[in-house]
Chain A
Amino acid sequence: METLDITKETTAEKPQPAKVSLSGSQAVLEALIAENVKTVFGYPGGAIMPIYDALYDYKDKLEHILVRHEQGGIHAAQGFARASGEVGVVFATSGPGATNLVTGIADAMIDSTPLVCITGQVFAHLLGTDAFQETDVINITTPVTKWNYQVTEASEIPSVLAKAFYIARSGRPGPVLVDITKNAQVEKFDYKGYIPCNHIRSYLPKPKVRKKFIAEAAKLINEAKKPFVLFGQGIILGEAEKEFQTFIEKAGLPSAFTIMGESAIPSDHPLNVGMLGMHGNYAPNVLTNECDVLIAIGMRFDDRVTGRLDKYAKQAKIIHLDIDPAEIDKNVKTTVPVWGDCKETLPLLTELINKTEHTAWLQRFRDLEQEEIKQVINEELNPSTEIMSMGEVIKVLNKLTNEDAIIVTDVGQHQMVACRYAKFKNSRSNITSGGLGTMGFGLPAAIGAKYGAPERTVVSISGDGGFQMTIQELGTIMQFGADVKILILNNQFLGMVRQWQELFNDRRYSFVNITSPDYITVAKGYGIAGKRIDKREDLESSLQEMLSYKGSYLLEVMVGKENNVFPMVPQGCSVSEIRLK
Chain B
Amino acid sequence: MNKQEFTISVYTENQIGLLNRIAIMFSRRKINVESLNVSPTEIEGISRFTIVINEAEDVVRKLARQIEKQIEVLKVYYNTNEEVIWQELALYKVPTDVISEKAKVERLLREYGAQAVVIRSDYTVFETVGHREEIDGLLEALAPYGLIEFVRSARVAIIKDSEGFHNKLKEFENREPSEAVIENEFLNKQSEVFTM
Interface residues of A (CB under 8 A from B): 138-139, 142-143, 146-150, 167, 198-204, 207-208, 210, 324-326, 328-330, 337, 339
Q: Could you say which residues of chain B place their CB within 8 Å of the CB of A147? A: 71
Task: Given A143-B24, A147-B71, A337-B187, check contact A202 B17 (CB 8 Å).
Answer: no
A150 cross-chain contacts in B, Cβ below 8 A: 16-17
Give chain A residues whose Cβ lies under 8 Å from the Cβ of B62. Answer: 326, 329-330
- Interface size grouping (class) on chain B: 20 to 34
Known A-B contacts A138-B17, A146-B71, A147-B71; A204 and B24 likewise in contact (beta carbons under 8 Å): no
Is B183 an interface residue when CB atoms closer than 8 A count as contact? Answer: yes
Task: Assess the B69–A328 pair: CB atoms within 8 A.
Answer: no
* Distance between B66 CB and nearest chain A CB, rounded to angstroms: 5
Question: Is B181 part of the contact surface with A, judged by Cβ < 8 Å?
Answer: yes
Of A146, A148, A325, A330, the most chain B CB neighbours within 10 A belong to: A325
Contact A142 B20 (CB under 8 A): yes
* A-B residue pairs, 3 tightest by C-beta: A326-B65, A201-B172, A147-B71
A334 to chain B, nearest CB (A): 8
Other than A202-B12, A208-B178, A210-B182, give 19 A-B pairs with Cβ distance below 8 A.
Answer: A138-B17, A139-B20, A142-B17, A142-B20, A142-B24, A202-B71, A202-B73, A203-B71, A204-B177, A208-B182, A325-B68, A325-B183, A326-B66, A326-B68, A328-B187, A329-B62, A330-B62, A339-B182, A339-B184
Are B28 and A202 in contact (CB-based, < 8 A)? no
Residues of B within 8 A of A339 (CB): 182, 184
Task: Using CB atoms, name the residue of chain A closest to B73.
Answer: A202
Kindly state whether residue B72 has any CB partner on chain A within 8 Å: yes
Q: Which B residues lie within 8 Å of A337 (CB)?
A: 187
Contacting pair B72 A202 (CB below 8 A) = yes
List 11 interface pairs A-B (beta carbons < 8 Å), by A numbering: A139-B17, A142-B17, A147-B71, A198-B175, A204-B181, A208-B177, A325-B68, A325-B69, A326-B62, A326-B68, A339-B184
The answer to whether B107 has its CB under 8 Å from any CB of chain A is no
**Chain A proximity mask over B53-68: 1 for CB below 8 Å, otherwise 0:** 0000000011001101
Shortest beta-carbon distance, A392 to chain B, in Å? 43
- Nearest residue (CB) in A for B16 is A150
Which residues in A have their C-beta under 8 angstroms from that of B17?
138-139, 142, 148-150
Please encode chain B, from 179 to 196, with 1 for each CB lying within 8 Å of some chain A CB and 0 for all others: 101111101000000000
**Other-chain contact of B169, A143, A201, A210 (Cβ < 8 Å):** A201
Q: Which residue of B lies closest to A202 (CB)?
A: B74
B158 nearest CB across to chain A (Å): 22
Which of A139, A208, A326 interacts with B69 by CB under 8 Å? A326
Q: How far is the CB of A300 from the nearest CB of chain B, in Å?
A: 13
Chain B's nearest CB lies how many Å from the CB of A478?
Answer: 40
B42 at the interface (CB under 8 A from A): no
Q: How far is the CB of B47 from chain A (nearest CB, A)?
A: 11
CB of B71 within 8 A of CB of A199, answer no
Residues of chain B with a CB closer than 8 A to A326's CB: 62, 65-66, 68-69
Which of B's residues lie within 8 Å of A, judged by CB?
Answer: 12-13, 16-17, 20-21, 24, 28, 61-62, 65-66, 68-69, 71-74, 169, 172-173, 175, 177-179, 181-185, 187
Contacts of A200 in B (CB 8 A): 71
Closest B residue by C-beta to A171:
B69
Alpha-carbon gap, A576 to B39, bound state (A): 51
B71 touching A167 by the CB < 8 A rule?
yes
Instruction: List A contacts of B12 (CB < 8 A).
Output: 202
Q: Give the chain B neighbours of A207 by CB distance below 8 A.
A: 177, 182-183
Q: How far is the CB of A509 from chain B (nearest CB, A)?
A: 34
| Smallest beta-carbon distance A322→chain B, Å | 11
Residue of A nearest to B183 (CB): A325
Inter-chain contacts of B74 with A (CB < 8 A): 201-202
Q: Which residues of A contact B20 (CB under 8 A)?
A: 139, 142
Alpha-carbon gap, A120 to B64, bound state (A): 33
Residue numbers in A under 8 Å from B187 (CB-CB): 328-329, 337
Q: Which residue of B lies closest to A209 (CB)?
A: B182
- Give chain A nearest CB distance to B40 CB in angstroms: 16
What's the nearest-Cβ distance from chain B to residue A175, in Å?
A: 13
> Which residues of chain A are within 8 angstroms of B173 by Cβ–Cβ distance?
201
Within the complex, the shortest CB–CB distance from B152 to chain A, in Å, comes to 28
**Residues in B whose Cβ lies below 8 Å from that of A142:** 17, 20-21, 24
Please name all residues of chain A whose beta carbon is closer than 8 Å to the beta carbon of B169 when the two chains form the complex. Answer: 201
Q: How far is the CA of A199 from the CA of B71 in the complex (A)?
A: 11
Q: Which residues in B have their C-beta under 8 angstroms from that of A198?
A: 175
Inter-chain contacts of A149 with B (CB < 8 A): 17
* B195 nearest CB across to chain A (Å): 17
User: With a CB–CB cut-off of 8 A, which chain A residues contact B177?
Assistant: 204, 207-208
Residues of A within 8 A of B184 (CB): 325, 328, 339
Partner of A143, one of B28, B68, B69: B28
A467 → chain B, closest Cβ, in Å? 32
B169 to chain A, nearest CB (A): 7
**Cα distance A247–B85 in the bound complex, in angstroms:** 49
Which residue of B is nearest A327, CB measured? B65
Contacting residues, chain A, for B66 (C-beta < 8 A): 326
CA distance A150 to B17 in the complex (A): 9
Residues of A within 8 A of B183 (CB): 204, 207, 325
User: Which residues of chain A are within 8 angstroms of B182 by Cβ–Cβ distance?
Assistant: 204, 207-208, 210, 339
Q: How far is the CA of A203 from the CA of B71 in the complex (A)?
A: 5
The answer to whether A325 and B65 have CB atoms under 8 Å apart is yes
Kindly state the separation between the CA atoms of A326 and B68 in the bound complex, as whole angstroms: 9
Complex CA gap A201/B45 in Å reads: 13
Question: How far, in Å, is B184 (CB) from chain A's closest CB?
Answer: 5
Assembly CA distance A199 to B176 (angstroms)? 10
The distance in angstroms between the C-alpha atoms of A199 and B181, with both chains bound, is 14
Write out the residue numbers on chain A whose beta carbons fall within 8 Å of the beta carbon of B68. 325-326
In the complex, A570 Cα to B137 Cα: how many Å? 53
- Cα–Cα distance between A198 and B174 once the two chains are bound (Å): 12
Q: Which residues of A contact B181 (CB under 8 A)?
A: 204, 208
> Chain B residues with Cβ under 8 A from A328's Cβ?
184, 187
**CA gap between A461 and B28 in the complex, in Å:** 34
Which chain A residues lie closer than 8 Å to B72 at the CB level?
202-203
A314 to chain B, nearest CB (A): 17
Min Cβ gap A494→B in Å is 29
Q: Return B37 CB to nearest CB of chain A, in Å.
A: 20
Can you name the residue of chain A whose Cβ is closest to the Cβ of B74? Answer: A202
A387–chain B nearest beta-carbon distance, Å:
45
